[in-house]
Chains A and B, each alone.
Chain A
Amino acid sequence: MSNQKVLEVKNIDFFYDDFQALENITMDVEKNKVTALIGPSGCGKSTFLRTINRMNDLIEGAKLEGDILFDGESIYQENVDVVNLRKRIGMVFQQPNPFPKSVFENVAYGPKIHGVTDKAKLEEIVVESLKGAALYDEVKDRLNKSALSLSGGQQQRLCIARALAVKPEVLLMDEPASALDPVATAKIEDLIEELKNNYSIVIVTHSMQQAARVSDMTGFFLMGELVEYDKTDKIFENPSDQRTEDYITGRFG
Chain B
Amino acid sequence: MHDSRKSFHTELNDLENEMLKMGSVVGESISQSIEALINKDLELASKVIKNDDIIDDYELEIEEKCTRLIALQQPVAIDLRKIIVISKLVTDLERIGDNAANIAHKVLAIGDQTLIKEMQDLPGMRDIVVQQLRASLEAFVDMDIDKAKEVAAGDKKVNQLDKQIKSELLKVMENDSTTIEQGTSLMFISRFLERIGDHSTNICERTVYMKTGEWTELE
Q: Which residues of A contact B (CB under 8 A)?
A: 208-209, 212, 236-239, 244-246, 248-253
From B77, B81, B212, contact of A248 by CB (8 A) = B77
Q: Mark B93-116, 1 if CB is under 8 A from A, else 0.
A: 000000000000000000000000
**Contacts A237-B77, A239-B77, A245-B77; A253 near B5 (Cβ below 8 A):** no
**In the bound complex, do residue B1 and residue A253 qualify as a contact, i.e. CB atoms below 8 Å apart?**
yes
Nearest chain B CB to A74's CB is how many angstroms away? 37
Count how many chain B residues have C-beta atoms less than 8 Å from C-beta atoms of the other chain: 18
User: Which residues in B have their C-beta under 8 angstroms from that of A248?
Assistant: 76-77
**In the bound complex, do residue A208 and residue B5 qualify as a contact, i.e. CB atoms below 8 Å apart?**
no
From A237, A238, A251, A253, contact of B9 by CB (8 A) = A251
**In the bound complex, do residue A250 and residue B77 qualify as a contact, i.e. CB atoms below 8 Å apart?**
no
Total inter-chain residue pairs, C-beta < 8 Å = 45
Bound-complex Cα distance A236 to B81 (A): 10
User: Which residues in B have their C-beta under 8 angstroms from that of A239?
Assistant: 77
Can you name 14 A-B residue pairings with CB atoms under 8 Å? A209-B74, A236-B76, A237-B81, A237-B213, A238-B77, A238-B81, A238-B212, A238-B213, A238-B214, A239-B77, A249-B76, A250-B4, A250-B8, A251-B5
User: Which residues in B have their C-beta under 8 angstroms from that of A209?
Assistant: 74
Bound-complex Cα distance A244 to B78 (A): 11
**In the bound complex, do residue B213 and residue A249 qualify as a contact, i.e. CB atoms below 8 Å apart?**
no
| CB-based nearest B residue for A248 | B76
B33-81 contacts to A (CB < 8 Å): 74-81
**In the bound complex, do residue B1 and residue A237 qualify as a contact, i.e. CB atoms below 8 Å apart?**
no
User: Which residues in A have their C-beta under 8 angstroms from that of B2?
Assistant: 252-253
| CB-based nearest B residue for A244 | B77
Q: Let me know if B3 is at the binding interface, CB within 8 A.
A: yes
From A249, A252, A253, contact of B77 by CB (8 A) = A249
User: Which residues in A have their C-beta under 8 angstroms from that of B8?
Assistant: 250
User: Which residues in A have their C-beta under 8 angstroms from that of B214?
Assistant: 238
